[in-house]
Amino acid sequence: MTTMTPKERVKAFFRREPVDQAPVFSGMGTVTVQAIDRMGIRFAQVHGSAEYLAGSAIASAEMFGFDGIVVPYDMCTVPEALGRGASLYENAEGILYPTVPSKWATLDDVDLPEDYSTIFSKGRMPVVDGAINIAKAHDGGKLAVGSWVLGPFTMAGQLIELDVLLKGLRKDKERVEAFLTKMTDLVIAVARHYQELGVDYMNIREMGSGTDLLSPRMWKTLIQPNLQKVFAALTSPKINHICGSTDLIIEMMNECGADAVSVDQKNHVAESRKKLGPNAMILGNFDPYGTLVQKDAGEVPGVIQKCVDDGVDAVWPGCDIWPDVKKENMEAYVKAVREYGKK
């Protein structure tokens, strides 16, 4: 088979067409300190500049041989554009991701715009747009460019404390559900915006909705209907990613309308494969921190091989790669995906 470009490889994978080798990519951030050090900047600086955001993602991909890159890295861009601010820790020397400094205290405090298109000129939303455009144009568009948006429930948790929402489900269910409907519309607006910019795949990260927090019954009534609306509004490729325990909801995840489900290391993929059958697309499911930061490089191939043996269609980290990875572990990870992915 003719050697494919990274973008061709990823796009063919999602079309379920033959690929020349297993793609190495993710739906979450894959920036590394090695790339940031090469650029001569601090981690805190990458979030506020389109050039730094795109450049650090591109440099990480080229250093280690990834097929795709993903921007943004942090969860605060949309809340910031909605007026909740963002703490960027610009003077920090270590790895600190931006956080939301001021969430709405109650549902009465919520103040959302009638037209979500107005947020794309605010805060750091133009930075993300710029980074996507830079990445798409780099090296003739050779790399696949992905993006992500928090799912409605997780997005709500960035704007108002989740305990307020969960308590509200008992005392003020209609208003909580109405707020989540607004969050669903917001997620759709942002995800469509990135798709209109031309990203090659879109990941919806409903990270805070695993069964560590919500019961399967609550997931079915509170989470699934909104995710179904989101995926019905988006074009392919589109991925449904949930962190934490997902064994009890994997079938419902697969019914949300995404092209693939993405799970982390708490999911027993071999069992999920049996439940979903051979035609479902499953992405996952190694622990990026434990594998790429804590383990010795010699242990990495075994982790990757287990993902493949359990039945994933593509080996994905269960969440963002922690930037302070070991160089030799990253190299072992990429090499192992290429080797075991031949299966």
Is 217 inside a domain boundary? Answer: yes
Q: How many other CB atoms are found less than 10 A from the CB of residue 85?
A: 16
Is 260 inside a domain boundary? Answer: yes
Residue 277 scores a pLDDT above 90: yes
Using CA atoms, how far apart are residues 270 and 286, in angstroms rounded to an integer? Answer: 13
> What pTM, to 2 d.p., does this model score?
0.96
Is 256 inside a domain boundary? Answer: yes
pLDDT band at 169 (very low <50, low <70, confident <90, very high): confident
User: Quick one: pLDDT at residue 72?
Assistant: 97
Is 28 inside a domain boundary? Answer: no
Query: What dihedral do alpha carbons 110, 161, 30, 226 form, nearest 10°?
Result: -60
pLDDT-wise least confident of 61-75, 143-157, 158-172, 230-244: 158-172
Is 190 inside a domain boundary? Answer: yes
Domain of residue 169, CATH code? 3.20.20.210
pLDDT band at 18 (very low <50, low <70, confident <90, very high): very high
DSSP state of 221: I
Using CA atoms, how far apart are residues 216 and 18, in angstroms rounded to an integer? Answer: 36
Order the strands of the 201-205 sheet from edge to edge.
Answer: 68-70, 144-150, 201-205, 238-242, 260-263, 282-286, 314-317
Average pLDDT, the chain: 96
Domain count, the chain: 1
Residue 214 scores a pLDDT above 80: yes
Q: Count of residues for the chain? A: 343
What are the beta bridge partners of residue 145? 69
Is 22 inside a domain boundary? Answer: no
pLDDT in tens, 317-333: 999 999 999 999 999 99
Mean of pLDDT values over 9-38: 97
pLDDT in tens, 109-124: 999 999 999 999 999 9
